Structure 1
């Protein structure tokens, strides 16, 4: 069943690939026109080599062509020498250089041509060596997989043995903080600052009868300050 067309169908619609829709089950057309059935693709062979019968009778060999047998090449102009001579003559503009090249002819020196002969040995074989065939029995028996697993196990065992040598049991790993804490010197608290004239003056009043009584009083105050409020432990008692 052909698709239903609505509207005017123009020839330009069949030449624009953006307007062409793909048919169901077919690839989209690219709007290229091909020649008829009588057209022959390819390049015509104008060489008359005789075809298959000529090949069967004798084998044509390639004869190397040397430069001595070829036609002599025409030597081109030596532009470097022409420009150098023109500058020496005082010519600087392009028109003067063009006239100088038209009136002077300096050719390149012919190079020594040597015959390019193939000096390779007669029994040489060109190309890449053929890769040896893979043993099919090793593939069927999964020999390569087993070999790979054994290599992985041996590498893992070697890594574990190396790791066990590094770690020493019974030794605590020291960090930078722990080392600094051990080497930190004990610092005594600095006394409060006083004027030099008051440093050696003793107290005017001694409210405790003895040093032992003073020590017992401060000890009792310290134990009682736990249940009191305030930074100095001299406030109200806490009920909680």
Structure 2
């Protein structure tokens, strides 16, 4: 049986030659340096800074102006010009020239700052910079004040439009309609009504249902609920009277079937239709 050798313990891994070091599949080659243990920390430790963010934001450091120039300060610009004029180009020669020309000083030195008149000197509450955006009135947003204001504004605008339209209509004098024009208009209206009635289509019915009559028996009394409670079907009124192909119940007012048929004929309604309408009214 062949013995297995772990790559990490392979004899080639003990060498210092990185070309001979064996590696596992999918892993990097083991190092051939003598590295410290796992507890060792690499990198440079940062020095502790006692002045943290709290101290920086809570302590105000006042500005320290630069020191004012002293009297009799050497004029380096003039000394450099003198070095160029004397053709002194090396640093040693220029240093010797500066030591020899200590009496070349700057004239008209401004020892005092010019007076500045700024707004904060007169008004301590004056603030510099751009004004920020005002905070959003969330109370008005939640209570829908802006929505109601928009609705009111739109209603007022429509009211103004209606007023202007009415004003324009009333201000213009309308022509008076003559009797002839009214007659012509009435004739045209009647013709349109007749044409509409002629073109009106009847409700579609199957042929076997076109001659079918009502199958519901109704009672002609006004208060049929009380009649049913008092004496049943016999106390609801007189029996129906046959008129043509239908049965008509006489109304409670004492009128007979002849009056019912006459009233239906005067209204251009067939007797059966009058009976059906009468029955529907009493049922309702």
Q: When the two structures are superposed, what TM-score results if normalisation uses the length of structure 1?
A: 0.28
Larger Rg: 2
Where relative contact order (Cα < 8 A, 6+ residues apart) is larger, the structure is 1
